[in-house]
Amino acid sequence: MQKPMGKPHKPTVAVVKFASCDGCQLTLLNCEEELLALADRIEFAHFAEASSDLRPGPYDLAIVEGSISTPKDLHRIVELRAQSKKLITIGACATAGGVQALRNFADYEEFKKAVYASPEMIESLAESSPIAQHVQVDFELRGCPVDKHQLIEVVLAMGSGRRPKTSTECVCQPCKRRGTVCVVVAQKKACLGPVTQAGCGAICPAYDRGCYACFGPASQTNMQALSEGLLLNQMSNTQAAMFLQSFHPASPEFQGESRRLEESPRRLWQLQPPSRS
Amino acid sequence: MSQPRSIRVPILTRVEGEGALNIRLCGSRIEQIELNIYEPPRFFEALLRGRPIEDVADITSRICGICPIAYQVTAVQALETILGIRIPEPIAALRRLVYCAEWIESHVLHIHLLHAPDFFDCHSGIELARKFPDQVKRGLKLKQLGNRILEVLGGRAIHPINIAIGGFYRLPKTSQLTDLIPELQKALQESIDAARWLGNLPFPDFTAPYHYVSLIDADRYPIESGRVAIGPDQTIGLEIFETHFQEFQVPHSTALQSKFLGTDGASTEYFVGPMARLYHNQERLGPQAKRLADELRFDARRCNPYQSILARAIEVVHAFEEALRIVQALQDGRLGGLAPRVSSEPHAGIGMSATEAPRGLIFHRYQIDDVGNVVFAKIVPPTSQNQARIEADLRLLLEQIHRDSDPSIALACERLVRCYDPCISCSTHFLKVNIQRE
């Protein structure tokens, strides 16, 4: 395509993937008509899932999906950072290691043997880690997957140099606004809503199930109160630890609390469980 | 042209996930052709062990953001066989409906944004939209409706949260479904127009000896159940799936490859996906999809992988017909008063399930213990099954084009690989084209 001349500079954007399911960058493609409008305002200079026209850096903005889990990716992320004025991460893998960081809690060598007949051929790291552990990150957008509207807001804000407006409250607040009857109170369901970052639209309680924290920890959490007040009255320490170790297992909040629960010899919550009537 | 040359194309694009293609040519001799999948392994089968069975659908969906329903439905069905759960008919219909929605969003995405640009020499769907704004916008609208059905039934389009063992966490209101009818009727017509737009594409002349494998589901087009067709008149049950389809590891890929082991002991590459489904089931398509397939003179026996774009377009029409049929049947209010899921007590056992993901047959097997925790998991996704076949096809293509320039070889190889709609995130992952000439 011919580039129109004399128009203002469109910010150049690279969308780059590490260990992930592709779902977060798919969210960009799911913007459908908004995607075409977005493409008028920013220049996708490197977006391998969408375009075979891959241009080298430097870029105004790098959008990173996925976690760091191989020696090669350790180098790639450092190179990408050097090429990018701003770098943001999208999704649970990039901001908290993703579901694949469950291996951080396990015997990695045994994991390799369980999946591959010749584990020695597999080049990967014992831990899956968030991008911010390796390079400076200018903004982290949470979610597994990220929310489409938040993603558009972040991309446009970063492209024009302002701070993105995204919610920092916990899932309980949008859940109340949505008018959902609390699944903890009414159905005695285990729910991580009180410690989970909003942004999904509080979907799970609206579908009669507890939140499983796919948007990661909220900005201010009281993890201990959650496990002792809400989880341990209906599950064991091990089960509660596992509930917290799902899609953001490498986030300090969930990792810390799940380790604390696992290391406790017995149930922490010693009072009578609330009546189920 | 016999001078030693080394060519490197950095990344295979417009596929999901990351990998490379390594080609070594010596004159006209192809010394090596490897689909080098280097996507980081994520060890799903290992990390599922010890988790409660309720987590399996949520965790396996994270294997792939494009086809999460395939993972969720296959997983819960496998677990339901262990628990002896039989799903009531209206809930089974909703499962099929949400699966149709995934076919729609996945196929329409691949057709318009990933595959069609190759036929018009565009780098991307965005560029294609500048040449064919109406056609691409029509595609995006069809995709949007697929996503909307996923949102109604699944809570959201990517990694839906509503698929549960025994049914759903919550059933939709009948009115939420009937509201979809006018849009589905319109989309069905538009999907037929979209397929006609693709009908006259200049398909390269290429055929390969395909061993097509797909499910066959009595008189229905196969989606979420069926027996495995391994030959023109031969099907097998899932209990011997692993006897005939064996996974093995190759040094150049973090995705396990898979081959078909015949009764005579010979092993061959095989091919799963829309072309395979149509090969075994074209007569089972919905009436409009079937008429369209005839009108386009689509014939999977031609074994031309470039025509997979037509196979997908025909299946999109079928998925809209099927979605409309299901929604219309549920109008009578039979969902009312139904429990969203069948409950059960855990007990130890082994269960498996195979369904048709957008990219082809997917197989899951789980073993669980008495308290309902996973002991063992095995997941065979479509793209890893197609890997060996893709390599064999690239070899055939290279025999025809090895005299071409390196950039044109790289482009042709990349285009051929895209025909399979490889999902490397699923298979573990994909693509760089490295060509070495000696």
pLDDT at res. A275: 39
For the segment A53-73, the average pLDDT, to the nearest whole number, is 94
A100, A145, A247: residue with CB nearest B43: A100
- Per-residue pLDDT reduced to its tens digit, A141-182: 999 999 999 999 999 898 888 899 998 899 999 999 999 999
What is residue B278's predicted lDDT score, i.e. its pLDDT? Answer: 98
Q: What is the b/e burial string over B19-31, where b = at least 16 CB atoms within 10 angstroms of the residue's CB?
A: bbbbbbbeeeebe
Task: Choose the closest CB to A23 out of B43, B45, B158.
Answer: B158
Q: Closest chain B residue to A67 measured between Cα atoms?
A: B40
Domain-embedded: residue B24: yes
**Contact between A133 and A103 (Cβ < 8 Å):** no
Chain A residues lying within 8 Å of B42, measured CB to CB: 19, 69, 98-100, 128
Residues of chain B with pLDDT under 50: 1, 428-433
Q: For residue B26, is it within any domain?
A: yes
Using one digit for the tens of pLDDT, what is the confidence trace for A197-252?
999 999 999 999 999 999 999 988 999 999 988 888 888 888 999 999 989 988 89
Check: CB of residue B154 under 8 Å from CB of residue B163. yes
Spell out the domains of chain A, with CATH numbers in brackets: 12-159 (3.40.50.700), 172-263 (no CATH)
At A237-262, the pLDDT tens digits run 889 999 999 899 888 999 999 999 98
From B47, B51, B140, residue closest to A32, measured CB to CB: B140
Structure-block tokens of residue A177: 């606004």
Q: What is the pLDDT of residue A263?
A: 86
Q: Do B144 and A32 touch (CB under 8 A)?
A: yes
Chain B positions in Cβ-Cβ contact with residue A247 (cut-off 8 Å): 62
pLDDT of residue B3: 61
Residue B220 confidence (pLDDT): 96
Spatial CB neighbours of A58, under 8 Å, sequence gap ≥ 6: A12, A83, A84, A85
Number of domains in chain B: 1
**Beta-carbon separation of A116 and B59 below 8 A:** no
pLDDT of residue A274: 41
Q: Which of A49, A54, A203 sits opposite B161 (nearest CB)?
A: A203
Mutation target among A207, A234, A239, A248 for the B interface, most CBs of B within 10 A:
A207
| pLDDT value of residue A231 | 85
Question: Which residues in chain B touch residue A41, judged by CB atoms under 8 angstroms apart?
Answer: none
Contacts of B14 in chain A (CB under 8 A): 48-52
To 5 degrees, how large is the angle CA B354–CA B55–CA B99?
Answer: 40
Name the residue among B41, B143, B170 with its Cβ closest to that of A32. Answer: B143
Q: pTM (2 decimals)?
A: 0.93
d(CA A253, CA B84): 39
What does DSSP assign to residue B427? H
Q: Would the CB atoms of B38 and A72 count as touching at under 8 Å? A: yes
Q: Is residue B31 part of a domain?
A: yes
Which residue in A20, A39, A214 is closest to B126 by CB distance? Answer: A39
The verdict on residue B260 lying in a domain is no
B256, closest residue in chain A (CA to CA): A116
Q: Is residue B420 part of a domain?
A: yes
Q: Which residues make Cβ contacts (< 8 Å) with residue B127, sequence separation at least 6?
A: A1, A51, A53, B117
Residues of chain A by 3-state class (helix, strand, coil), percent to 5: 40, 15, 45
- For the CA atoms of A176, A181, A187, A191, the dihedral, rounded to the nearest 10 degrees, stands at -20
* Residue B328 forms part of a structural domain: no
CB B188 within 8 A of CB B321: yes
Contact indicator for B230, B403 with CB cutoff of 8 Å: no
Cβ neighbour number for residue B255 with a 10 Å cutoff: 27
d(CA A128, CA B112): 34
Asked if the Cβ–Cβ distance from B65 to A52 is below 8 Å, we say no
Contact B431, B18 (CB under 8 A): yes
Answer yes or no: is B135 within a domain: no
* CB burial string B140-163: b at 16+ within 10 A, e below: bbbbbbbbbbbebbbbbbbbbbbb
Q: Is residue B413 part of a domain?
A: yes
Cα distance from A175 to chain B (closest Cα, Å)? Answer: 14
How many angstroms separate the CA of residue B142 from the nearest CA in chain A?
A: 10
Distance in Å, alpha carbon of A269 to nearest chain B alpha carbon:
22
**How many other CB atoms are there within 10 angstroms of residue B432's CB atom?**
18
Q: How confident is the model at residue A113 (pLDDT cuts 50, 70, 90)?
A: confident
> In a 3-state reduction of DSSP, which class is residue B80?
helix
Q: What count of CB pairs under 8 Å joins A to B? A: 187
CA–CA gap between residue B225 and residue B96 (Å, rounded): 10
Task: Name the residue in chain B with its Cα closest to that of A36.
Answer: B126
- At how many degrees (to 10) do helices A148-159 and A33-41 cross? 10
Interface test mutation site (partner A, options B54, B126, B248, B428, max chain A beta carbons within 10 A):
B126
Contacts of B162 in chain A (CB under 8 A): 207
- Domain containing residue B35: 6-41+398-437
CB contact under 8 A, A53 and B68: no
Do the Cβ atoms of B130 and A1 come within 8 Å? Answer: yes
Burial class (CB within 10 angstroms; exposed 0-12, middle 13-18, buried 19+) of B336: exposed
Task: Supply the DSSP symbol for A31.
Answer: T
ipTM of the complex: 0.91
Distance CA A190, CA A187 (A): 9
CB atoms within 10 A of CB A125: 18
Distance, in Å, from the CA atom of A87 to the CA atom of B205, rounded to the nearest integer, reads 44
pLDDT of residue A36: 81
| DSSP 8-state code for residue A133 | G
CB contact (8 A) between residue A115 and residue B68: no
Nearest to A21 among B38, B41, B64 (CB): B64
Apex CA B244: angle with CA B242 and CA B246, to 5°?
60
Q: What is the pLDDT of residues A10-38, one digit of tens each?
A: 899 999 999 999 999 999 988 877 888 88
Judged by CB atoms closer than 8 Å, whether chains meet at B129 and A48 is answered as no
Chain A residues closer than 8 Å to B147 by CB: 30
User: Who among B62, B137, B159 is closest to A33 (CB)?
Assistant: B137
HSE (side-chain half, CA atoms, 13 Å) at A134: 29
